[in-house]
């Protein structure tokens, strides 16, 4: 058995706790302590002396220590470790020429680390962070696997890699200039015009990189990556900030890279997009921030289903207790006419500058979750702000002001808040803080307690998103409005949140509106859909809420995309464009999936 100890220095406050981890560590082997203080004043765990008793983990008031036991044979597969008591990665994905290798897993288990190693940004140290191996040793270590030739080419420079990083919002701090000029400089393949048209970038070619939105930066970064004529293309979360149409356009563009034998590796949280663009999938599992293990490659269907089931048969490993299951068919219309109406609105019109939003009349009943689908810039957020009372419509009757509403906005910022996460919750919730319902239904399932000692201003995008969603759902309200709650979250976090939303709405007889771009999440959580149509930035039309199947059919027909259902997990899968099933479903008008006779 190998012990892996990780210290989170962001949480550890040795001056405040008096190093209780050292005081409570039992002495072992010649009266040596397994935990000692290093020169910087932080505790250091000697993993060879540690007996894994867990006392330090339980005693640490800031939950800064993690100690896990792993099989000894796994230690032989260590690819990289960042330092003493730091994150450890076991194995690496196996990229293949002419194929797209997809990665799926929680945040913090090594997906981005794997991609940076394969991109040449990080050299794998095989766990020897104090004695960095040279390239010859690394190449020899991976002998007999495709990674041997891969690293041989990477070390010699004969294998050239294009890398699209995860955090595209940091690109303007590194690169300056006009978008069109930047793209033309990297256009080795002479495809700038068609790629810019496909990714809808023509309108931003004359703009400075520094003024672009997150979605525009994402598409520019993907275009720059695809325009280069290299051997390997690596994309870290390419669907972030993008709407459904843009995600599918990006997926088609990435897939075409393989047609000329290129090697492509993609990390993605949107399961429908991952399924659509991948040829093989590696599941990465482990303890976030502590260690990550890369599974052997599987077929796309098997790999994603393994992740949803939480069990890897060929390794006999269960990495999650419960399965993630989808509706086998759209939920029955449980909301008959005698179910009380929660909220009702008339025809509404709202004009913002050159943009006009028109909303058809609608109503929502107790216990309903309404999904909102549509492209970026079509008025979804404007509609939610009307429901929240932030905007007043120019025409029509808005919802009554007596309704108690809790709203989670699309864009989050912690710049103006100073204090810890716990202080934020205490201040926002008052007497509700500490209730057993909030603890069991929200804070524990979402892992909020682990963030209590962190300063809100230091949270990552995903952590800030979880805090915002938890605060929204913690408030005593009749109606919950959540604008893009899955942004920055990994697959498991997305489905944890959707289950929480469903339980709160159904058990407490509330209602919720969810703006979402991940179709798997929308399919999982929604009872009905509001589909937006129109021209982004000019005019948007919000249809009246309709049953899930009708709404999905209307929305997918606009995208000219069809879905089918996986027989094992019930998850929606995108049909390959022009395939036999794609053509057949379009001919009968069933874009969502082909219903059974029972439907």
CATH number at residue 41: 3.30.70.20
Prediction pTM value: 0.88
- Tokens representing residue 160 in the block: 């050239």
Q: Answer yes or no: is 534 within a domain.
A: yes
Domain-ending residue, one of 189, 206, 230:
230
Q: Answer yes or no: is 159 within a domain.
A: no
pLDDT value of residue 29: 47
Q: Is the dihedral of CA 275, 280, 286, 289 positive or negative?
A: negative
Determine the 3-state secondary structure of 229 from DSSP: coil
Which residue ranges in the chain fall short of pLDDT 70?
27-32, 327-338, 414-416, 596-599
Q: Answer yes or no: is 81 within a domain.
A: no
Overall number of domains in the chain: 3
Domain residues for the domain of 553 are: 341-559
Say yes or no: 59 and 191 in one domain.
Answer: no
Cβ–Cβ under 8 Å, residues 62 and 12 = yes
- Tokens representing residue 368 in the block: 């309903």
Say yes or no: 370 and 477 in one domain.
Answer: yes
Q: Answer yes or no: is 351 within a domain.
A: yes
CA distance 292 to 378: 40
- Tokens representing residue 338 in the block: 């005698």
DSSP class of 99: S
CA distance 425 to 434: 10
Say yes or no: 504 and 394 in one domain.
Answer: yes
Distance set, CA 553 to CA 129, 333, 334, 519, 559 (Å): 53, 16, 20, 12, 10
H or E segment and range at residue 68: strand 65-70
Task: Give the residue among 445, 465, 447, 444 at the shortest CA–CA distance from 456.
Answer: 465
Q: Answer yes or no: is 76 within a domain.
A: no
Say yes or no: 65 and 171 in one domain.
Answer: no
Say yes or no: 48 and 197 in one domain.
Answer: no
Task: Give the residue among 14, 3, 109, 5 at the shortest CA–CA distance from 57.
Answer: 5
Say yes or no: 350 and 496 in one domain.
Answer: yes
pLDDT value of residue 327: 67
CA distance 111 to 26: 36
CATH number for the domain including 462? 3.40.50.300
CA distance 324 to 524: 10
* Class of residue 378 by CB neighbours under 10 A (exposed 0-12, middle 13-18, buried 19+): buried
Cβ–Cβ under 8 Å, residues 407 and 471 = no
Within 8 A by CB and 6+ apart from 591, the residues are 552, 553, 556, 557, 561, 562, 563, 585
Determine the 3-state secondary structure of 539 from DSSP: strand
Centre a 10 Å sphere on the Cβ of residue 549 and count the other Cβ atoms it contains: 18
Distance set, CA 69 to CA 51, 97, 291 (Å): 10, 36, 11
Task: Give the residue among 92, 5, 80, 74 at the shortest CA–CA distance from 284.
Answer: 92
Q: Answer yes or no: is 173 within a domain.
A: yes
pLDDT value of residue 337: 56
Domain-ending residue, one of 70, 88, 111:
70
Q: Answer yes or no: is 92 within a domain.
A: no
Determine the 3-state secondary structure of 388 from DSSP: helix
Q: To 5 degrees, how large is the angle CA 204–CA 210–CA 211?
A: 55
CA distance 67 to 290: 8
Within 8 A by CB and 6+ apart from 177, the residues are 208, 209
Say yes or no: 173 and 63 in one domain.
Answer: no
Say yes or no: 393 and 531 in one domain.
Answer: yes
Q: Answer yes or no: is 90 within a domain.
A: no
Say yes or no: 503 and 367 in one domain.
Answer: yes
- Tokens representing residue 207 in the block: 């703009």
CA distance 148 to 416: 49
- Tokens representing residue 248 in the block: 């599918």
Within 8 A by CB and 6+ apart from 21, the residues are 35, 43, 56, 59, 60, 65
Say yes or no: 346 and 200 in one domain.
Answer: no
CA distance 443 to 60: 20
pLDDT value of residue 328: 61
Within 8 A by CB and 6+ apart from 396, the residues are 345, 346, 347, 348, 349, 359
Cβ–Cβ under 8 Å, residues 21 and 35 = yes
Say yes or no: 404 and 546 in one domain.
Answer: yes
Say yes or no: 63 and 186 in one domain.
Answer: no
Domain-ending residue, one of 230, 245, 264:
230
């Amino acid at each position: 058995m190998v012990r892996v100890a990780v210290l989170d220095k962001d949480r550890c406050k040795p001056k405040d706790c008096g190093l209780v981890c050292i005081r409570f560590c039992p002495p072992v082997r010649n009266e040596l302590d397994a935990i000692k203080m290093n020169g910087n004043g932080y505790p250091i765990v000697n993993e060879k002396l540690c007996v894994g008793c867990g006392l330090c983990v339980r005693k640490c008031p800031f939950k800064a220590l993690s100690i896990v036991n792993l099989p000894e044979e796994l230690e032989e597969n260590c690819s990289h470790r960042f330092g003493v008591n730091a994150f450890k990665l076991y194995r690496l994905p196996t990229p293949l020429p002419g194929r797209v290798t997809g990665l799926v897993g929680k945040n913090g288990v090594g997906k981005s680390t794997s991609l940076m190693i394969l991109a040449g940004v990080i050299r794998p140290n095989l766990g020897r962070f104090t004695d960095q191996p040279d390239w010859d040793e690394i190449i020899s270590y991976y002998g007999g696997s495709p990674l041997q030739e891969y690293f041989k080419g990477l070390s010699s420079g004969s294998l050239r890699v294009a890398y699209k990083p995860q955090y595209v919002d940091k690109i303007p701090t590194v690169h300056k200039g006009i978008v069109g000029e930047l793209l033309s400089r990297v256009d080795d393949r002479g495809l700038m015009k068609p790629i810019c048209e496909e990714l809808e970038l023509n309108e931003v070619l004359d703009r400075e990189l520094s003024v672009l939105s997150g979605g525009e930066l994402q598409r520019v970064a993907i275009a720059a990556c695809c325009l280069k004529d290299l051997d390997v293309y690596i994309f870290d979360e390419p669907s972030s900030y993008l709407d459904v149409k843009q995600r599918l356009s990006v997926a088609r563009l990435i897939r075409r890279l393989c047609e000329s034998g290129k090697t492509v590796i993609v990390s993605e949280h949107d399961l429908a997009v991952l399924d659509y663009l991948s040829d093989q999938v590696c599941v990465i599992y482990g303890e976030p921030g502590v260690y990550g293990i890369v599974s052997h490659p599987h077929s796309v269907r098997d790999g994603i289903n393994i992740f949803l089931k939480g069990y890897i048969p060929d390794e006999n490993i269960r990495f999650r207790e419960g399965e993630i299951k989808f509706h086998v068919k759209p939920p029955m219309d449980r909301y008959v006419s005698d179910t009380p109406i929660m909220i009702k609105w008339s025809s509404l019109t709202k004009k913002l500058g050159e943009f006009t939003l028109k909303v058809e009349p609608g109503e929502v009943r107790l216990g309903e979750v309404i999904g909102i689908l549509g492209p970026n810039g079509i008025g979804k957020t404007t509609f939610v702000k009307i429901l929240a009372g932030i905007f007043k419509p120019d025409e029509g009757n808005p919802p009554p002001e007596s309704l108690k509403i809790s709203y989670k906005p699309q864009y989050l910022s912690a710049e103006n808040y100073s204090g810890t996460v716990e202080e934020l919750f205490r201040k926002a919730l008052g007497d509700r803080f500490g209730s057993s319902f909030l603890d069991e239904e929200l804070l524990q399932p979402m892992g909020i307690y682990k963030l209590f000692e962190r300063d809100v201003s230091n949270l990552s995008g995903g952590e800030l998103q979880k805090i915002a969603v938890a605060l929204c759902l913690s408030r005593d309200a009749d109606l919950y409005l959540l604008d893009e709650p899955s942004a920055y979250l990994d697959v498991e976090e997305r489905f944890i949140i959707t289950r929480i939303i469903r339980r709160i709405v159904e058990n407490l007889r509330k209602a919720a509106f969810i703006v979402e771009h991940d179709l798997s999440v929308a399919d999982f959580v929604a009872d009905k859909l509001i589909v937006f149509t129109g021209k982004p930035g000019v005019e948007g039309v919000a249809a009246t809420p309709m049953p899930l199947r009708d709404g999905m059919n209307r929305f997918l027909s606009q995208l000219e995309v069809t879905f089918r259902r996986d027989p094992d997990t019930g998850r929606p899968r995108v049909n390959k464009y022009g395939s036999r099933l794609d053509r057949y479903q379009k001919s009968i008008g069933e874009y969502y999936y082909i219903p059974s006779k029972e439907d």
